[in-house]
Amino acid sequence: MKGVATFKTFEEINAWQNARGLVKDVYKVTRSGDFGKDYGLKDQIQRAAVSICSNIAEGFERRGNKEFINFLWIAKGSAAEVCSQLHNAKDIGYITDEQFQSIYDSAKKIGGMLFNLITILSSDERRIKQ
């Protein structure tokens, strides 16, 4: 895993790329039916999904591993928040079991990717290369 800290842009980070897809999926299911009219839950899950991408990008631009890791933890927390809100949406009947499982699996995968990146960066004393 050497060389992980040689990203030149945040767009190169697989977790960020996957998080973009998650945002698209979340927006797709929250735009229709009763979910689209529940502004509180809809806005909360959308903000949580967007937060994943935003925190990866912001943390990367800080350039130091310590700060980057802090932002990655926040992004990981946002992925968990998406999972939690998905449970609520499923319980209320806003999404199908299939929609739930697909988006839930994506959010969990991203959380795992973030944890792996945090672990690698935590053991790498080098700064992110510019």
Does residue 128 form part of some domain?
no
Which residue would you say has higher pLDDT here, 63 or 130? 63
- Cα dist from 4 to 65, 108, 111, 120, whole Å: 11, 21, 17, 8
Give the total number of structural domains in the chain: 1
Does residue 1 form part of some domain?
no
- pLDDT at residue 4 greater than cutoff 80: no
By residue range, what is the domain housing residue 103? 7-122
- Cα dist from 117 to 10, 48, 105, 110, whole Å: 13, 20, 18, 10
What is the reported pTM? Answer: 0.89
Does residue 27 form part of some domain?
yes
Render pLDDT for 7-49 as a digit per residue (tens, 0 to 9): 899 999 999 999 999 999 999 999 989 999 999 999 999 999 9
The CATH number for 63's domain is 1.20.1440.60
Which residue would you say has higher pLDDT here, 3 or 50? 50
Render pLDDT for 71-103 as a digit per residue (tens, 0 to 9): 999 999 999 999 999 999 999 999 999 999 999
Does residue 74 form part of some domain?
yes
Q: What is the pLDDT of residue 128?
A: 45
Does residue 107 form part of some domain?
yes
90 vs 86: CA distance, rounded Å: 6
Identify the band that residue 124 occupies on the pLDDT scale cut at 50, 70 and 90: low
